[in-house]
Amino acid sequence: MKVADMHCDTISEILYDRKSEPPKGRALRKNDLHIDLEKMKKGDYLVQNFALFVELKKRENPFEWCMELVDTFYTELAANSDLIAPARSYDDIIRNMESGRMSALLTIEEGGTCKGNPAFLRNFYRLGVRMLTLTWNYPNEIGYPNRRPEAAYDVPDIENGLTPFGIEFMQEMERLGMIVDVSHLSDAGFYDVARYAKKPFVASHSNARSVCGNVRNLTDDMLRKLSECGGVTGMNYEPSFLRAYEPEEKKYAAISQVVAHIKHIADVAGTQCIGLGSDFDGIATNHELPDASYLPMLEDALWKAGFGQDEIEGIFYKNVLRVYREVLR
């Protein structure tokens, strides 16, 4: 079964390694991370979104750091052009597949890298960025996140949404042909996006809050609105987004927990809004889905849970490709 995964942090981990002393020599082709090209081939990957993750409070110049990540992305793709190629559109993904190569779609996880300047957004688009997560865990010029240092993980922000600039920023993304990503965004921000969006948007790596109360997940009402907009939410394999744990409890995630989220979302919003968004290399290791090569096990679990061929194909790649076909250009 082909795989379209909307989110991983592998490029950031490779750059971190290059700047560490001593480096481990991590590269995209083979490494000790959740994702490398060999693992992706075993997992039958069609397209992987590679997020450029920037933590605002740890970077003196977030834009400069993001540019280093862009360089790391293209350097790694050039070194592995026999296996993977960049994709900026749905047609690119199909052409790459026909040539026997996987696709890499470039995304940014933190709208604050644009520093409130739409010119930076447009230049990222020119560099191939085709999806952008509006916030990470800090407020920025665009809006507010749901995970706040002063609040518990089950207390959403229902008051602070997109700023007036954030609404304009989102609209410029749509005009360019870049996908708006609401993972990490506050509840109020989600509803602002749903109100102003003219095209499908995504939650690239978020699950169902009714199954696990972490505010990084979406409520049933959000899921229905996302589905109505033609959007997709990508199932995140992080243990704490799959079920609640006591503080002293060892986190052990199971494939059955991922399936539980998929079943719930299918019941409340339909399978057409479900995709994959592993968050690989940005999360704790999921012991039953420890890396990209294990995706056939999730397929088997969905078969056993009663999902049909068309539904599983939709969840694994077709729903995401539909959004790419409608939005990217």
What is the tens place of the pLDDT at every residue in 128-144? 999 999 999 999 999 99
Dump pLDDT digits (tens) for 202-243.
Answer: 999 999 999 999 999 999 999 999 999 999 999 999 999 999
pLDDT digits (tens, 9 = 90+) for 266-280: 999 999 999 999 999
The answer, yes or no, to whether residue 123 has pLDDT greater than 80, is yes
User: Is-contact 315 275, C-beta < 8 A?
Assistant: yes
| pLDDT band with cut points at 50, 70 and 90 for residue 148 | confident
Tell me the C-alpha distance between 295 and 39, whole Å.
10
* HEC assignment per residue over 47-110: EEEEEEECCHHHCCCHHHHHHHHHHHHHHHHHHCCCCEEECCCHHHHHHHHHCCCEEEEEEEEC
CA 242 from chain centre, in angstroms, equals: 16
* Residue 164 host element (H or E): helix 164-176
3-state secondary structure of 286: strand
The CA-CA-CA angle for residues 37, 38, 43, to 5°, reads 90
Both structure tokens of 156: 């959403």
What pLDDT sits at residue 248?
82
- Token reading at 47: 């397209």
pLDDT classification of 149: cutoffs 50, 70, 90:
low
Of the chain, the percentage scoring pLDDT greater than 70 comes to 98
pTM exceeding 0.85: yes
| Six token digits for residue 108 | 């940014």
SS3 content of the chain, % helix, strand, coil (to 5): 45, 15, 40
Position 154 confidence tier, pLDDT thresholds 50, 70, 90? confident
